[in-house]
Chain A
Amino acid sequence: MAAKKSEVLQGTLDLMVLKTLHGLGPLHGFGIARRIEQLSENVLQMNEGTVYTSLLRLQQRGGITARWGVSERTIAKQSSTPSLSAG
């Protein structure tokens, strides 16, 4: 059931996203999702769409900035390195 997926706490996801960006530099949403999938070795089940909500939350708090950029195949939203001083 979906219950398992939602057990990942909001704050945990935000932290994971932040950590990914800190380690790898600017990434778009798809890249972050892949990285998290990879790191958790497919143990963590989550709706990838929630990564975007997480990005939005971090952006609102000033933890990261966003810009539009072109990836290999299409246009996607890229997220830059977090400035750790903010937030």
Chain B
Amino acid sequence: MVTWMKVLFSRIRGWIGARKMDEEFAQELADHFELLTTEYILRGMAPEQARRSARMQMGGAAQIRDEHRKTAGLPGAENLIQDVRYALRTLAKKPAFTVVCILTLGLGIGANTAIFSVVNGVLLRPLPYPKSNRLLQIQENHPGGSNANFTYASYLNLEQRSKSLENISAFRPWSFNLTGESEPQQITGALVSGNFFAALGTEALLGRTINTQDNQPGGDNHVVILSFALWQSSFGLDPGILRRVLHVSAEEYRVIGVMPKGFDYPDHSRLWCPLVPEGGLHDNRRAHLLTVIADMRSGKPIGSAQGEMAAIAQQIETQNPGVDPDMVITAVSLHKSLVAPVQPALLILTCAVVLLLLLACANVGNMLLAQAEARHKEFAIRIAVGAGQRRLLQQLLTESLVLSALGGALGLGIASQSLHFIATLHADQMPRFGEISMDWRVLGFTLLVSAFSGLLFGLGPAIAATGADVNISLKEAVGSVMRPEGSGARRALVIAQFAFAVILLVGAGLVGNSFVRLLKVNPGFHSDGVAAIKLFLSPVEYPEGDPKGTVLLRQVLESVRSVPGLISVGLVNALPITGGPETDFVIQERPAPPPSNEPSAAIRVADSEYFHTMGIPLLAGREFTERDNASASRVMVVNQTMARQYWPHEDPIGQRVTMKDWGPPLTGEIVGIVGDVKTDGLDTNAEPMIYWPYAQFPQLFNTIVIRSEDDPLRQLPAVKNAIWAVAKNQPISEIATMDQILADSLARRRLYMALLAVFSAAALLLAAVGVYGMLSYSVNRRTHEMGIRLAIGAERGDVLWLVLGQGITMALAGIAVGVAAALVLTRLMSSLLFGVSASDPITFAGVALLILLVALVASYVPARRATRVDPMVALRYG
């Protein structure tokens, strides 16, 4: 056994049996003393002198026993327990101080723990797939700046040519109509290539995953994999599920596997079917439909694929000139690309909570400094009777660590509660938010942060307290010496608190300001009373080119229009705000632009009532009518942005435009111009948009919009029955009011704003408590001085201003520092802002004013108390 371990075990044994050992040792010393005395008497000393010499020869019994005890046991542990006990006793004697400290620290540590839990779950923890560290997403980048999906042909090229990647797989998010199991359901899922599951590395819980055999056109490709959630909700965890055949989108699919619990890639998928390259898909170079993921071959560093991707993009372009000019292929870690939308905001929130914790530490540090000043006499006496400076320091630090540990415990509670709160704020709008939990890393983080903040706020006051001059402290206790007023350190801490509060408030103010501006943005439609119901027509029942789908939709619309209480009913493929398909187009009778510069527009299909139902204004020409059917000549309506951008000086009506990306080119004549709607969210600019009549460009994904006099959701049962009356097996899902869709599109911003608002409110409160505490304490200590001032003729107003002035000076200094820092820091948050500059003067001025006001109120209470000092009492007892 290693020596130090032997020593340690022996010490632990000694520590446990300390009392008995001590008694035995005392006995032994006594015996030794007796023997030595006898020895000296034998050497001829008188008994009295012999005892004296023996005592001198042995040394002080108390010291020897103490030394022995320290060597035998664990003096560190003993001291620690003693210190913790003493700290708890000291804190219990000052309940108000203790409670304020613990609350302050709990707030700071809790906010940090909560945000760290989110950062941990979203940014730090690897994706929950076995191959997560090698998993890449491959993207096509186009000169326009947008990241596009792959076409099947490019995907095949990539798969055949890449040497640094393996399991290159493609998927397309898809909706499935599941019928024959109670109510027809629409289920989100994906069509995946044969190596999709191999790329992720996740095995099936039951049965097997899809493999490359399942993707053969004409082969046995009617197989389906269920998510655990779907297996549970729709099949009651039926153990015989692998023998079942399901009606998926009107065809029979054999269940071959069930995925383990929690697996839902991509994007909350519940069902996976093979992606079969049928219908000309395999050589399609225009339809960018596929998301591509792949594994880095083992042994190769991630990122080394970049050069190869560039070369493959070059080859594809050379072999297919003019199709996707200047296309670039990039490989990024799947994790990074998933969390990219929330990463900047999470970093900003992290900065915010760190500031809040610093503020909390400054506050508690300040209170401890005040405590240390008040306890000077105690420390002086302890040093005078022999306490070592180190021992005293250790004891004071123990006190602050006890405080921060209690604060940390409270913080854990606060954090777990706030995570519930965050979850209620439409957390499903954020990537990976379902994976957030408080794991061992979060606990470790809380422990570290607590210890760190305990040292941060405890070290300064402890050093200040133990370094004090014993003489001055002892004299001061008698009252003859005044210490210089309001130590510099404490003023600096209060100023720092104001500065932190300014930064946080400015950040929250800017985000709040952006939010208000977003709410005022005109989405281009009237959302009140409008609800949307998604209908996905199965491609098997309603194949492309077959007018059956159009006929069904017309019947559905007619049936829904007969529901009483509805003002109007319309049809569109993709709603505003939530994005949708785009196309490249050319304008007829104009010189063709170079292929790399082909304009693009969002593409929608609508019926005659859609614009009216949504409240989108018709600006020129006409809307669609029922006569714009498949046999009539092709017509289109464009939005205002498109009209302005491409026909700034002429009338767009009557112009002919050809849409290129969706099947064979389709040419139509512009018959009307409508107002813009926001396509991808309230914070985006309107982009050019082309509407086709639904009968002339039929779509599988359709949305019925209804406008009702009152709450549109109340009409839903009747609307559903009206749809089922003409389409018996049609699943109806994803029903939402337009108000809800607008609110969801702001969910992330609302979350960021709510969190920043809470943090900055806490910061303001702490800063106010800080200045209040400092001034109250200072007024208490200066009672004597105030008494003298009043006695020799100072007005009460003078005394009031004396104290108020102190508070305001510190606030102004804090504002100056805070504004300067905020001007630098808020530039980092420009991605969260909308319509306000990062140095918005109104926000800055408002925050400065607010801080000043709060400082004034917080200083007024102690200032007021200073004026009430009775000179007689103050002089007599001060």
A50 to B57, CA, bound (A): 11
Residue numbers in B under 8 Å from A61 (CB-CB): 3, 6-7
A48–B6 CB distance below 8 A = no
A75 to B10, CA, bound (A): 23
Determine if A16 is an interface residue (Cβ-Cβ < 8 Å): no
Residue numbers in A under 8 Å from B29 (CB-CB): 49, 52
Residue numbers in B under 8 Å from A87 (CB-CB): 3
Taking the closest CB of chain B, its distance from the CB of A72, in whole angstroms, is: 9
Determine if B378 is an interface residue (Cβ-Cβ < 8 Å): no
Residue numbers in B under 8 Å from A13 (CB-CB): none
Residue of chain B at shortest CB distance from A5: B59
Taking the closest CB of chain B, its distance from the CB of A8, in whole angstroms, is: 12
B interface footprint on A62-87 (CB within 8 Å = 1, 0 otherwise): 10000000000111110000000001
Taking the closest CB of chain A, its distance from the CB of B814, in whole angstroms, is: 53
- B residues 127-143 near A (Cβ < 8 Å) are none
Determine if B11 is an interface residue (Cβ-Cβ < 8 Å): yes
Residue of chain B at shortest CB distance from A61: B3
- B residues 9-56 near A (Cβ < 8 Å) are 10-11, 25, 28-29, 31-32, 34-36, 38-39
Residue numbers in A under 8 Å from B68 (CB-CB): 52-53, 56
Which of B6, B31, B58 is in CB contact (< 8 Å) with A62?
Answer: B6
Determine if B650 is an interface residue (Cβ-Cβ < 8 Å): no
Residue numbers in A under 8 Å from B67 (CB-CB): 49-50, 53
Determine if B71 is an interface residue (Cβ-Cβ < 8 Å): yes
Taking the closest CB of chain A, its distance from the CB of B317, in whole angstroms, is: 77
Given contact pairs A60-B6, A60-B7, A62-B3, A50 touches B72 in the complex (Cβ within 8 A): no
A50–B36 CB distance below 8 A = no
Residue numbers in B under 8 Å from A47 (CB-CB): 57-60, 64
B28–A77 CB distance below 8 A = yes
A59 to B21, CA, bound (A): 14
B71–A76 CB distance below 8 A = no
B31–A76 CB distance below 8 A = yes
Determine if B237 is an interface residue (Cβ-Cβ < 8 Å): no
B28–A53 CB distance below 8 A = no
Residue numbers in A under 8 Å from B10 (CB-CB): 59-60
Residue of chain A at shortest CB distance from B24: A77
Chain A residues with CB under 8 Å of chain B are 5, 29-30, 33-34, 47-50, 52-53, 56-57, 59-62, 73-77, 87
- Some 7 contacts from A to B, beta carbons below 8 A apart, are A5-B59, A29-B28, A47-B58, A49-B60, A62-B3, A62-B6, A74-B31
Task: For the complex of A and B, list the 8 residue pairs with the smallest distance between their C-beta atoms, beginning with the closest.
Answer: A47-B59, A49-B64, A60-B10, A49-B59, A60-B7, A48-B58, A74-B31, A30-B35
Residue of chain A at shortest CB distance from B54: A48
Which of A33, A49, A50, A75 is in CB contact (< 8 Å) with B31?
Answer: A75
Taking the closest CB of chain A, its distance from the CB of B791, in whole angstroms, is: 55
Determine if B61 is an interface residue (Cβ-Cβ < 8 Å): yes
B35–A73 CB distance below 8 A = yes
Taking the closest CB of chain B, its distance from the CB of A79, in whole angstroms, is: 12
Which of B3, B34, B39, B59 is in CB contact (< 8 Å) with A50?
Answer: B59
Residue of chain B at shortest CB distance from A51: B32
Taking the closest CB of chain B, its distance from the CB of A33, in whole angstroms, is: 8
A57 to B3, CA, bound (A): 11
Residue numbers in A under 8 Å from B11 (CB-CB): 60
B36–A48 CB distance below 8 A = yes
Residue of chain A at shortest CB distance from B11: A60
Residue numbers in A under 8 Å from B36 (CB-CB): 30, 33, 48
Residue numbers in B under 8 Å from A34 (CB-CB): 39
Residue numbers in A under 8 Å from B64 (CB-CB): 47, 49-50, 52-53
Taking the closest CB of chain B, its distance from the CB of A40, in whole angstroms, is: 13
B35–A49 CB distance below 8 A = no
A49 to B6, CA, bound (A): 24
A52 to B68, CA, bound (A): 7
A61 to B5, CA, bound (A): 9
- B residues 62-109 near A (Cβ < 8 Å) are 63-64, 67-68, 71-72
Taking the closest CB of chain B, its distance from the CB of A59, in whole angstroms, is: 7
Which of A5, A50, A52 is in CB contact (< 8 Å) with B25?
Answer: A52
Taking the closest CB of chain B, its distance from the CB of A1, in whole angstroms, is: 13
Residue numbers in B under 8 Å from A76 (CB-CB): 28, 31-32
Residue numbers in B under 8 Å from A57 (CB-CB): 71
Residue of chain B at shortest CB distance from A76: B31
A76 to B28, CA, bound (A): 6
A50 to B29, CA, bound (A): 11
Residue numbers in A under 8 Å from B57 (CB-CB): 47-48
Taking the closest CB of chain B, its distance from the CB of A29, in whole angstroms, is: 6
A52 to B36, CA, bound (A): 15
Taking the closest CB of chain B, its distance from the CB of A2, in whole angstroms, is: 8
A69 to B71, CA, bound (A): 23
A62 to B72, CA, bound (A): 14
Residue numbers in B under 8 Å from A56 (CB-CB): 68, 71-72
Residue of chain A at shortest CB distance from B32: A30
Residue numbers in A under 8 Å from B35 (CB-CB): 30, 73-74
Residue numbers in B under 8 Å from A74 (CB-CB): 31, 34-35
A73 to B37, CA, bound (A): 13
A23 to B31, CA, bound (A): 24
B59–A29 CB distance below 8 A = no
Given contact pairs A29-B32, A30-B36, A49 touches B58 in the complex (Cβ within 8 A): yes
A29 to B10, CA, bound (A): 20
Taking the closest CB of chain A, its distance from the CB of B817, in whole angstroms, is: 53
Residue numbers in B under 8 Å from A62 (CB-CB): 3, 6
Residue numbers in A under 8 Å from B39 (CB-CB): 34
A30 to B34, CA, bound (A): 10
Residue numbers in A under 8 Å from B61 (CB-CB): 49
Residue numbers in B under 8 Å from A53 (CB-CB): 64, 67-68, 71
A53 to B34, CA, bound (A): 19
Residue of chain A at shortest CB distance from B64: A49
A60 to B57, CA, bound (A): 26
A59 to B14, CA, bound (A): 12
A75 to B60, CA, bound (A): 22
B31–A48 CB distance below 8 A = no
Taking the closest CB of chain A, its distance from the CB of B174, in whole angstroms, is: 73
Taking the closest CB of chain A, its distance from the CB of B73, in whole angstroms, is: 10
A48 to B746, CA, bound (A): 81
A12 to B60, CA, bound (A): 21
Residue of chain B at shortest CB distance from A29: B32
Taking the closest CB of chain B, its distance from the CB of A45, in whole angstroms, is: 9
Residue of chain A at shortest CB distance from B7: A60
With A5-B59, A48-B36 known, 19 other A-B pairs at CB within 8 A are A29-B32, A30-B31, A33-B32, A47-B57, A47-B59, A48-B59, A49-B63, A49-B64, A52-B29, A53-B67, A56-B72, A59-B10, A60-B7, A60-B71, A61-B7, A62-B6, A74-B35, A76-B31, A77-B28
